Structure 1
Amino acid sequence: MTESGDGSLDERLRIFSIVLIIFLTGFLFRVETSKLHDLSVDEKAYLTDEHGLPYMYELDSYYNYRVSRNYLMNGHLGDSLRDGVPWDSYSYYPPGRPASYPPVIAWVSTRVYRVLSIFMDISFYETCFWLPAVIAPFAGIAMFFLLRKYSGDLAGFIGGVMTVTAPLYFSRTLPGFFDTDMFNILIPVMIVFFLTEAVEAEDRKRSLFCIVLSSLLILLFSLSWRGWPYILYIIAVSCILYLSWRAIGGKDWSFPAIMFSVLFLLSITFCGLLNAWSDVIHIINPLNIMNSTSATGGWPDVYLSVSELSRPSFEIFVSAAGPLNLGFGVLGLIMITSVMLRPPMRDKHLGGFNVFIFIFSILWMAVSLLAYYSSVRFSILAIPPLTFISGVFLGLVFSYMGEVESWMSLMGHGAGTIMVAIISLLVLSVSVVQASEITMKPFINDDYESAAAWIHDETPPETVIVTDWSYRHYFTAASGRPVLFDGGSQNTKRAYWIFKAFATDNETLSLGILTMLTASGDRAIDLLENYTGNTADTAEILNGILCVDRETAAGLLTDEYGMGHEFTDELLSATYAERRPFIILTTEGMKYAGYWYFYFGDWNFTSKNTIPVYHVETVDVSQIDRSLKRGLWDGKRPHSFIISDDRGIETISVDNSSKFSVIFLPAEGKAFIIDSSFNDSLFVKLVLLGEETEHFRKIYQKGDVTVWGVR
């Protein structure tokens, strides 16, 4: 049942009130999370920065902050220009990489900051921190205007609230979650709104005007998020099916065909001109989005270790989208389809819900849920179609309730209104409660901030940071030092070598690898891979020469591998380049990523990779004592027990034929069960035991973070 207004003052006030409530619901609940209510005073202080704000919740936010700060200071996303191209000298260094990143987040944050700084004393960082909480509620407002066309103000209002409180969208648009997710519902919903306006308008000029607006919004989406083409695919298939339906039904399809052609022509042209024509080629194959996580040639696929790229469990699938949104969305689609297939019922209860939006809704929800099922990273795509269908479904229910007086006369006058009110309150209550129960804990704490400050103050500007890729966005932003790789460049051939440096028990090899990478980047790897044409041979040769001196390496290359002197000299100039200062930074969190260091670092390039033993268990002192006395762990004899406490490090050999060892850290109450072949690895020494080694010494340590220098 669609409500149509006459544009009166009362209607405008009603709409303004609804919009304001949706915005405040989304904004205030998000702001409340920044107070970290569930934590003690000491924990809050530990997780709060110098601005009095919680540290940002995930590390990509610091990358977005850094490139946005670059735009504010330099007018482009890079920290420098290289041959006229904006260049990011801090990621994947050396040599860095082009600062090619969707710029809308930088544009918006910069312009908001410049406006706010006129009226208040606010830093750019603070602007970036609060911006998601301001932008996200507008997605609910956009959903309200889309839904009210088909289901009226009440269903539109509920749909708007369901949008801003959807669990995943809520958690990824909190203050301090400075990422592109804030645009990933707002812009698609606006695209759909103007597209449906174009289809439904009786005036052709209005239709074409709305088509142009849709095209411009598609352009804006392409500048906001790299996964933007999905909405274009859904529109394309919807248009084809809609035109086919009109043609089969004997309806005029010429103008809709022209209208849709203009949409795609403008969208592709705009995107090609303001992005790159390579993006237009990218559009042609929809599988490019799904396959954007492929491995680099024959090197290990590091994306296997990224949790958000994995398929969601059933529990996550339901909870992230929101049980209410998912349940109403699926049930609603079934009920709406049933009504749409019965013309009298359709005209009575879904009069404004035309065939185009029906086709589009089915595809929108099906594609989004399929993408979500394939990878957690696409979960946010499912929220707008689920919420939209839920809103239309509620409008359908309310329309039925409008007739309740005629068939529920025993309940008396107003029974339908009462039921509508009850349903509305229940849905709104569940939506608000599921959002209010969401709490987040910052990934960064004072230990990271102190380490970043120390690195900035105590190391030369050219110092390269070697650490886990997940932490590097923070340290590039906070310390002003480059990193070997980060969250935007982890799936590269370089990743194998970093993991190898930590996984090997040959510390000379570890030093050789890190010296090569920090001095010349991938140059030696590329030279050798181009020469051999074989990834396995490349890995074997480099692993053989990086643990010996230059003279010995030259002999191996010429005598054992038959390489010419000219190529040998070129390769050695990259593998034994002048050492650049670098530090290794280890964190408490790296202890829980050890499996992947050993899995990728011990990669088998010629046969199936082995699965290393690595897991963590909580233990108390009595369990440790009992295991040591019995010489058993979980009923089995380990290769050895390694105990690290305030008295030092003790190794107790048990059974040399065993394939696993147990490392006890009594102060932490943890036991690390690892593959015994990695007992003497650099990872175990630096990360688990915090032990100085032949080549690396501890130069800074505070809480969760330790910095190691080369002796």
Structure 2
Amino acid sequence: MDKNKIMSILKSVAIILVIVCFVAFLRFQAADLSVIPADQQSYYKDASGLPYFTEMDSYYNLRMTENFLTYGHMGDTIKNGTPWDTLSYAPEGRSAEYKPMIVYVTSFLYYISNIFSDVSLKEVAFFVSAIIAPLAAIPAFIIVRRLTNNYGGATAALIVALAPNYFAHTFAGFFDTDMFNVVLPLFLVLFFIESIRSSKLAYRIVYILLTIITMVLFSLAWDGYVFYIGMLVIFMIVYLLLGFILKLDLIKPRKNYSNLLSWFTDQKEIFSIVLIAIIGFIGLGLTNGFDSIIQAPMNLLGATQIQSAANAAAYPNVFISVAELQIPSLLTGGISGAFSANSGGIINGVGGIVAIFGAFFILILFAQRLWKLRSFNARGVNKKPPKGQRKATSKLKESKSRDSLIESTLSDIKTIEDVNRNKRDTLLYLVLFSVWIFLSAVAVTQGSRFIMVLMIPLGLCVGLFVGYAAVYIKNKVDSKSKLMAIAIIGTFLIVYPIFQTFSVFYPLFNISSTLAFIIPIIILFALIGISALLIYGFKGLKSSKFAKTAVILILMFAIVSPTVFSAYQVSESVVPSTSDPMWDSMLWVKANTTDDTTLASWWDFGYLFEIASERPTLFDGGSQTGIRAFWTGKAMTTNDTELSAAIFEMLAFSGDKATELLDNYTGNDSQKSVEILENTLTLPKEEAKTTMINSYNLTSDQADNVVNLTHPDEPVPVIFVASSDMLQKAGWWTYFGNWDFNSKTSTGYQYLIAQQPANLENLGNGSYQANITNLEENGILFKTVVTKDIDNNTTNATTAAVFENGTPVKTQDNTTFNPFTVNRLVIIEDNMLVQNETVNESGNYTLLVMGDNGTYTSVIMSKELENAMFTKLFILGGFGQDSFEMVHMDDGISLWKISGYNTLRNETGSTNSST
């Protein structure tokens, strides 16, 4: 290996190290909580000063890791030989069998870090994603660098490692398996491709083994590993088929070899596929179980039916409320959004329209090249190049060791070997990226979370585009005006995301909004000026060796800047998903309730409840069944708080068993099953049994079986957790609670909470007014207007829609626009109900106004929520019901036990019996 080769390798290694450190630095920045004022940051940090996690799944992963380090297995116990989690999906719990890679890696890093210092497991977990995810830059760089140059490799590394949908799930504080979902697929593809490209048998065997190891590790990290195995299988089928059609002789005749073994080892594709299939099947079977390998094709097919499955069951499927499983839009932000990177749309997720254009340009380029090569045969080329054009052996080996597919042209083809190698490699990468992109696009139709899958091949193609463009500029562009045009357009593309960043984050930089506007303009003119100096400032273009390099760098940064600044914006905008009041409330539960107390709430915070309180929960992110979603939503939505309490009592005691048993008795008539339970849960046990027999034709034995599940003699203590975040989520939990079993649809309702309280302002003549903003949307403020007449001591309120300048919003026919027409007005002033009346029969909303010593706040709610259990408990503080009793309250959190049951440690009597 000569000096130039060594320097080239060292240069690439240095670039990789810089990129990995840079993308890691951006991820670590999330721990600073920069967007939160310094005096409020402690509110979002735990007792050790570490920020709370940004996503609830992180707490489940942390608890499973704690279990593994404590018990040697995930879950807190073993049930029938299966690791079992007793805190999730109460009362029965659920299997803790889980993809263990995140647990293994975190445990390993925990042990390693504690060799050198005293680091908590939570701290290791907090930063592990920021350590693992940047490694995706390594295979991305290598794959593209081998085809192009450092410009292309660097671009691919940055686009992939900082892709919005990937970055948003892998910064510090986001402890989930997504960290592996780009790193491992890239290494898998890299090793697989090298296993069929390498000329030496020993190298191919090494890459085959690395492919299998990566495949096994990936199978321990994510169920979606089967997608990539399926993708590689389809890729090889298409590749071999097209190779046969194009007569590339991918499979050589057996007669040319002395024996079968020598023939087999010389068939690169067949040799790799067979060995990977055989050894990989054994490896996957030993680590995951052979049954799971056999079922993998069906699981892969089932993954394409997520959307239809979410709408097919009798009970509502919680998946339809999960943001990551919503079908994404192609683009967000309109025309300006086309040049922005974010996780909102498919085009945005790959870095914007320019990056997408570059990716598909490369596919067209490969196809065009293959089309030209198809008729490029032995005629016109020699078996060996002319004597004067032959390279030294060392140079020839170096040329063959590196794939310069993008850099080479048809004029570079001198031998039959060059023809075959170009055809083979061009077909290989064209089929690889085409199949990869197509199958990923199909996956995206099942939810926005799969944009992360699509951005991998597209990101690599974007890198190839930049690498090709760099070669083209170097070799083809000799016009100063063309270079300057590229520089100007590229500079505008660079500065646009800078301008977006400064316009939003200028307070973090301690500069004014005016300066935030000026700085990007200065950068714009500076870059254009430097480019002009390099291009025009010398007598001849070629005398300035930096001109083309500068233009290439501008082009590269124009492509990557939307992605880079999007990542920066995310890291600077991170706010933990919880804060002290929620965590402290769970610590209160841990200290003040019996061990068997079950926590009831919507599923979002279930994982946090479990790790902080060490109490079982009814509902969390891993137990989102339709039955549990319906009954939890029903308990929160219904006007009958006795029914709410009875629902929680049933679920805490027997889970879904009563519902499933009734479905069996009614012939899967779920509507009838639900009707039976709704009409009997609040009745005494014997009366409920009689009603089931007389009104619903159940046999005596059947009714006995049901009431033994719904009316326990020793109820399980339950605490309902009400929190302010559930106000914004009301549209979903009311949707599930109001489920129509006939149409399999529902309607969700909403709360519009005051953004902040407002004081009365003197209007003169004894009149006062308070303007409360409940919603701000598209420049329109939806307000509650409270008026008070001091003379007769009357308070009134209504809703209004106004522009930011206070002008009322009008429709096209000049009538007042206000979508929140009030049906019922409820005013509570100084803890006294002063008004509760219907003001408009045709209105769809209830307006609740609460005043305290001249300061007012309000809630605009769908009228169906006026008497809902959640409204009574969280908004009205328990007013109008006696089924629940508040036992603890913190900022935005209130805890409610079912009245009549001993839930707290300091209560007397049996902890599981009614008083």
Normalising by the residue count of structure 2, what TM-score does the alignment of the two structures yield? Answer: 0.73
Give 1:390's aligned amino acid: V
- Equivalent-residue separation in structure 1 for 2:644 and 2:186 (angstroms): 51
Larger of the two Rg values belongs to structure: 2
Give the match for residue 449 of structure 1.
Answer: 583
With 670-679 and 198-207 compared, the bigger mean Cα shift is at: 670-679
With 582-591 and 269-278 compared, the bigger mean Cα shift is at: 269-278
- Equivalent-residue separation in structure 2 for 1:222 and 1:648 (angstroms): 61
- Equivalent-residue separation in structure 2 for 1:503 and 1:632 (angstroms): 24
After superposition, the Cα gap between the structure-2 partners of 1:321 and 1:549, relative to the gap in structure 1 and judged at 3 Å, is farther
2:142 to 121, 133, 145: 145
- 1:71-92 deviation per Cα after TM superposition (whole angstroms, max 9, x unaligned): 1111111111111110011111
Give the match for residue 541 of structure 2.
Answer: 411
The offset of 1:694, in angstroms, is: 0.8
For residue 569 of structure 1, give the secondary structure of its aligned residue in structure 2.
helix
Q: Equivalent residues in 2 for 1:27-106 (5 A)?
A: 27-106=24-103
Give the match for residue 291 of structure 1.
Answer: 305
- Equivalent-residue separation in structure 2 for 1:42 and 1:98 (angstroms): 42
- Equivalent-residue separation in structure 2 for 1:390 and 1:669 (angstroms): 54
For residue 505 of structure 1, give the secondary structure of its aligned residue in structure 2.
coil
Give the match for residue 473 of structure 1.
Answer: 607
Percent identity over the alignment?
A: 27
The offset of 1:145, in angstroms, is: 1.6
1:503 to 634, 637, 640: 637
The offset of 1:397, in angstroms, is: 1.1
Unaligned runs of 5+ in 2: 253-266, 333-343, 377-404, 411-421, 481-538, 759-769, 772-783, 789-794, 801-817, 900-915
Give the match for residue 433 of structure 1.
Answer: 565
1:110 to 82, 107, 119: 107
After superposition, the Cα gap between the structure-2 partners of 1:666 and 1:144, relative to the gap in structure 1 and judged at 3 Å, is farther
Give the match for residue 125 of structure 2.
Answer: 128
1:709 to 878, 889, 897: 897
With 429-438 and 55-64 compared, the bigger mean Cα shift is at: 429-438
Given the alignment of the two structures, is residue 212 of structure 1 paired with residue 225 of structure 2, yes or no? no
8 Å contact 1:662–1:671 — kept in the other structure? no
After superposition, the Cα gap between the structure-2 partners of 1:483 and 1:396, relative to the gap in structure 1 and judged at 3 Å, is same
Give the match for residue 585 of structure 1.
Answer: 721
With 635-644 and 153-162 compared, the bigger mean Cα shift is at: 635-644
With 270-279 and 156-165 compared, the bigger mean Cα shift is at: 270-279
- 1:536-592 deviation per Cα after TM superposition (whole angstroms, max 9, x unaligned): 221111111102110111111222223222222222111112211110001110011
8 Å contact 1:112–1:127 — kept in the other structure? yes
- 1:24-82 deviation per Cα after TM superposition (whole angstroms, max 9, x unaligned): 10111111221122221222111122222221111111111111111111111111111
Give the match for residue 592 of structure 2.
Answer: 458
With 493-502 and 614-623 compared, the bigger mean Cα shift is at: 614-623
- Equivalent-residue separation in structure 2 for 1:349 and 1:385 (angstroms): 24
With 177-186 and 370-379 compared, the bigger mean Cα shift is at: 370-379
The offset of 1:638, in angstroms, is: 3.2
- 1:199-251 deviation per Cα after TM superposition (whole angstroms, max 9, x unaligned): 21112343243233222212211211122221122111110111112222331
For residue 625 of structure 1, give the secondary structure of its aligned residue in structure 2.
strand
After superposition, the Cα gap between the structure-2 partners of 1:675 and 1:416, relative to the gap in structure 1 and judged at 3 Å, is closer
Give the match for residue 484 of structure 2.
Answer: none
Give the match for residue 302 of structure 1.
Answer: 318
- Equivalent-residue separation in structure 1 for 2:36 and 2:288 (angstroms): 44
- Equivalent-residue separation in structure 2 for 1:535 and 1:212 (angstroms): 52
- 1:396-439 deviation per Cα after TM superposition (whole angstroms, max 9, x unaligned): 11221231476779623434334323323444555433322222
How many correspondences in the alignment? Answer: 708
Give the match for residue 348 of structure 1.
Answer: 408
- 1:506-548 deviation per Cα after TM superposition (whole angstroms, max 9, x unaligned): 2221111110110111121122112222212211111111021
**Larger proportion of helix:** 1
After superposition, the Cα gap between the structure-2 partners of 1:243 and 1:655, relative to the gap in structure 1 and judged at 3 Å, is same
Give the match for residue 222 of structure 2.
Answer: 225
For residue 639 of structure 1, give the secondary structure of its aligned residue in structure 2.
strand
Given the alignment of the two structures, is residue 396 of structure 1 paired with residue 464 of structure 2, yes or no? no
Q: Equivalent residues in 2 for 1:171-570 (5 A)?
A: 171-250=168-247, 251-253=249-251, 255=267, 256-276=269-289, 277-284=291-298, 286-292=300-306, 294-295=309-310, 297-313=313-329, 314-315=331-332, 316-317=344-345, 318-323=347-352, 325-343=355-373, 348-349=408-409, 353-404=425-476, 411-413=541-543, 414=545, 415-427=547-559, 429-438=561-570, 439-533=573-667, 534-570=669-705
8 Å contact 2:159–2:350 — kept in the other structure? no
- Equivalent-residue separation in structure 1 for 2:835 and 2:634 (angstroms): 24
For residue 234 of structure 1, give the secondary structure of its aligned residue in structure 2.
helix
The RMSD of aligned alpha carbons is 2.8
- Equivalent-residue separation in structure 2 for 1:538 and 1:111 (angstroms): 49
With 635-644 and 437-446 compared, the bigger mean Cα shift is at: 635-644
Normalising by the residue count of structure 1, what TM-score does the alignment of the two structures yield? Answer: 0.93
The offset of 1:697, in angstroms, is: 1.2
8 Å contact 2:137–2:157 — kept in the other structure? yes
For residue 616 of structure 1, give the secondary structure of its aligned residue in structure 2.
strand
- Equivalent-residue separation in structure 2 for 1:141 and 1:598 (angstroms): 47
- 1:151-198 deviation per Cα after TM superposition (whole angstroms, max 9, x unaligned): 123321232122222222222111110011110110000001011101
With 676-685 and 381-390 compared, the bigger mean Cα shift is at: 676-685
- Equivalent-residue separation in structure 2 for 1:26 and 1:82 (angstroms): 43
